[in-house]
Chain A
Amino acid sequence: MTSRMADESGPAIEARGLTKRYGNRAAVDGVDFRIERGEFFGFLGPNGAGKSTTMRMIYRATPVDDGVLRVLGHEAIPQNDRAIKSRLGVVPQEYNLDERMTAREILEVFSRFYGLRGEARRTRISELLDFAELEDRKTSPVAELSGGLKRRVQIARGLLGVPDVLVLDEPTTGLDPRARRALWDKLIALGDRGTTIVLTTHYMDEAEKLCDRLVVMDEGKIVAEGTPAGLIADNVPPQVLEIVVPEAAERRRLHEHFGPVALARVELADRLLFYGTDGEALLRRLFELRDGTDARVRAANLEDVFLSLTGHGLS
């Protein structure tokens, strides 16, 4: 592929050495990533990792301080902001909806920014109300909607311009488990239609379930990149023994006892994690010392990847 073709067939978003500073602190500190068209791509990390700032640079709410960022073939500089934004859909972290308006009114107001009018506008709005399953709440002011429904209104609003890329910044934070699952289904359906989706989250199960590929961010840097399964395989042993132990003396005893049997270990405020290839072997080792009422064996997940890479938890 030649570079002349980049605008049409290049990546959806590409960053090299991307940096954003606030005062002396680098909120995003020289990150590189490449998001292909059609991909469901995640940024996983705790609060303050720089995920939102990265999103804000992508959807042109904040200037790039250093490095290169290209969105849909356009370099992210002020002259290109309109061109970039006309091809993006944005669902920000905060609810920023007109609380007194209904979902339909909000869509009508925002459709004007995308030049939709007449029949095309009516069709698009009903499609979106239908997709977001807001049809039966279309006369309620947004103030009366639940968090999950408000999020769906935001998603519908973000989709008005038929974007090539939909950017969602922590879309499920604060939602109850059922609303989260409902939202996941919507996002999966969108991804299946071929929309490139970029999402940030601090829920490892969300990243694992939704993302084709993801990067793990911490303190402004990308610490790992890959598919959910690949990241787990590359960074942590497959099985984990998780034991709830608050007391220091007991912890020391367990550490000594496991010795070289555990391939890796992590110490959390209330738990000890021992990693290995064989979960049963880990459990048997525990039983040699004591009972296992406060212990369980599970498969390693992205949270373990995060722990092993950063030494601290996700939340």
Chain B
Amino acid sequence: MRLPGDIDLRMAFAVFMRNATDYRRTWWLNILPNFFEPVLYLLGLGIGLGYYMREGLEGKDFIAWLAPGLMASAAMNGASFETTYNMFVRMTFAKLYDAYLATPAQIQDIAFGELLWAIVRAMMYGVVFLIVVSVMSLFGPPIVTSPWALLLPVMLALIGAMFALIGQLYTSCIRVIDLYSFYYTLWLTPLFLFSGIFYPVDRFAHGEQIAWFTPLYHAVRVCRGLSHGEVTTSMWGSVVWMLVSSVVLMRVVPWRLRRRFFR
């Protein structure tokens, strides 16, 4: 079966399954740190710092306000790691793409297979975190309070896709693995700090106008809106923002990769 952009789904699935096969061996090495990270932030900041913020934020307990943003960032991190370091290693050191390309698979199939896998990774982290905070909600802070939250797994997939594609675009442009330090310290870390996960973006002048152009802001807004049942037009606007950027990147990434591999 073919998708637009001449993507052969059978080939993409083969690439996906290669990653799944490899992952079976090391999942406990990979999944644990990524699982603990958002939970630690939730406990350390939500319960620790939250204790001193009795009045909460925007009418919510601080922990309830904080948790959905951490969920979005968990999905971001899961997808990003997969299409940065992991993809780079497969592509260059393991020369796996050359092996794929020697089969009937084309580069766009490979990119799509990698994308599907990164989405699964993003969902694993996001959904595990969602389960944790949902259980917490039963006993304490009202983090997940709305049936709209049933849409969260779908949104986590979209967030994963968007960040996976951004990671793929960066990976398609770099030649040395060391350049990821810039991606992490000057891209993902600022997104994590300034996208309205820990405090509203309008803390800084023009915060909202600037944040609107960045991806994690929209991811956080959607996760928060669905968790709390505050489903607004601007939240759907954020969904559209993520969809459009993902579709655009799905055309750009294979083109970039093809220029790199077919020359």
Binding site for B on A (CB under 8 A): 59-63, 78, 81-82, 85-86, 88, 90, 92, 94-101, 105, 108-110, 112-115, 157-158, 161
Contacts and interface: CB of A to CB of B under 8 A. Distances in A.
Q: Identify which of B94, B100, B102, B263 gathers the most chain A CB atoms within 10 Å of its CB.
A: B102
A109 B262 contact: no
A85 B21 contact: no
B94 A99 contact: yes
Interface in B154-195: none
Nearest to B97: A96
Nearest to A105: B21
A60 B105 CA distance: 11
B98 A92 contact: yes
B96 interface: yes
Contact of A98 (B94, B103, B261): B94
A96 B94 contact: yes
B95 interface: yes
Q: Main SS of chain B's interface residues?
A: helix
B25 A113 contact: no
Contacts of B18: 98, 109
Interface in B1-39: 8, 10-11, 13-14, 17-18, 21-22, 25
B95 A85 contact: no
B98 A108 contact: no
A89 B71 CA distance: 45
Contacts of B105: 85, 113
B103 A161 contact: yes
A96 B18 CA distance: 14
Interface in B30-86: none
B205 interface: no
Contacts of B13: 112
Contacts of A60: 101
Which bucket holds chain B's interface residue count? 20 to 34
Given A62-B262, A94-B98, A113-B103, 14 more contacts: A61-B102, A61-B262, A62-B263, A63-B263, A85-B102, A85-B103, A85-B104, A88-B102, A94-B95, A97-B99, A98-B22, A109-B21, A113-B104, A115-B10
Interface of B: 8, 10-11, 13-14, 17-18, 21-22, 25, 94-96, 98-106, 261-263
A112 B14 contact: yes
Contacts of B102: 59, 61, 85, 88, 90, 92, 158
Contact of B104 (A82, A92, A98, A101): A82
23 contacts: A60-B101, A61-B101, A62-B262, A63-B263, A78-B262, A85-B102, A90-B102, A94-B95, A96-B95, A96-B96, A98-B22, A98-B94, A99-B94, A100-B22, A100-B25, A105-B21, A109-B14, A109-B17, A112-B14, A113-B100, A113-B105, A114-B103, A115-B10
Nearest to B13: A112
A108 B25 CA distance: 15
B103 A110 contact: yes
Contacts of B22: 98, 100-101
Contacts of B21: 101, 105, 108-109
A206 B103 CA distance: 27
B255 to A, nearest CB: 13
B95 to A, nearest CB: 4
A36 to B, nearest CB: 23
Contacts of A161: 103-104
Contacts of A85: 102-105
A63 B103 contact: no
**CB-based closest 9 A-B pairs:** A112-B14, A96-B95, A90-B102, A113-B103, A86-B104, A96-B99, A109-B18, A85-B104, A82-B104
Nearest to A78: B262
Nearest to A59: B102
Contacts of A81: 106
A63 B261 CA distance: 10
A227 B14 CA distance: 41
A173 B149 CA distance: 59
A90 B17 CA distance: 21
A98 B8 CA distance: 23
